[in-house]
Amino acid sequence: MNPLRLVAVSAGLSTPSSTRLLADRLAEATRDHLDGDGRPVEVTVIELRDLATDIATGLVTGFPGARLRAAIEAVTGADGLIVVSPIFSASYSGLFKSFFDLLDNTVLAGTPVLIAATGGTARHSLALEHALRPLFAYLRAIVVPTAVYAASQDWGSAGDARTGDLAGRITRAAGELAALMRDRPAAAVPAETVVPFEEQLAALRPE
């Protein structure tokens, strides 16, 4: 059985980042649900802050570099996606939007996506519904019903996301994503096709 590929995209800008922490907790909870079914899972976390220059260059030139291309291939080849953005000015960050602007609007069709966000206050939680959910609906992804927003106070004074209501939302959303991923057959790893050198030369000869 090929492993299911779970990819988490974090658009956090700081180090350490509550956005990355939320992405890690969601990925861990989703993997726990799938592990309980005996499904092998490969988890990849993509930090967009490390690709900021590559993303800007890709938008301007139309040609992603090697690191950015690897990140795009991981996202488009995922069996399930977790996307987490900090909320700025009542919407996702520019870095987050710029990365997904690089994708064709068909490559995520049918892919289960869990949307999540972080912010200073709970007032910004509606950005999940008026910004992130429409974005991934446009990209034809299947967005899980439960979106997860974590305000500063949700982490608690000890920074423990496993207590309080946030933990319950993480568990519920991860369960919904895992359920959708279970219904998707794990894609087989394509075998590399090697064309013999003689055939390559023959193709170049005029007939």
Q: Is 37 helix (H, G, I), strand (E, B) or coil?
A: coil
Confirm if 156 and 163 have CB atoms less than 8 A apart. yes
What pLDDT is attached to residue 2? 85
Residue 178 predicted with pLDDT over 70:
yes
> How many domains, in total, are found in the chain?
1
Beta bridge partners of 55: none
Q: Are 151 and 120 in contact (CB under 8 A)?
A: yes
User: How high is the pLDDT of residue 191?
Assistant: 45
CATH number, position 142: 3.40.50.360
What residue numbers bound the domain in which 90 lies?
4-204
The alpha carbon dihedral of 134, 140, 144, 149 has a sign of negative
**Predicted pLDDT at 189:** 44
Q: Read off the pTM.
A: 0.84
Mean pLDDT for 102-117 is: 96
Q: What is the pLDDT of residue 193?
A: 47
Question: Closest by alpha carbon to 58, among 44, 48, 45?
Answer: 48
With beta carbons less than 8 A apart as the criterion, state whether 67 and 74 touch: no
Nearest alpha carbon to residue 24 among 123, 146, 150: 150
Confidence tier at 155 by pLDDT (50, 70, 90): confident
pLDDT above 90: percentage of residues in the chain:
71
Per-residue model confidence (pLDDT) at position 38: 81
pLDDT number for residue 168: 93
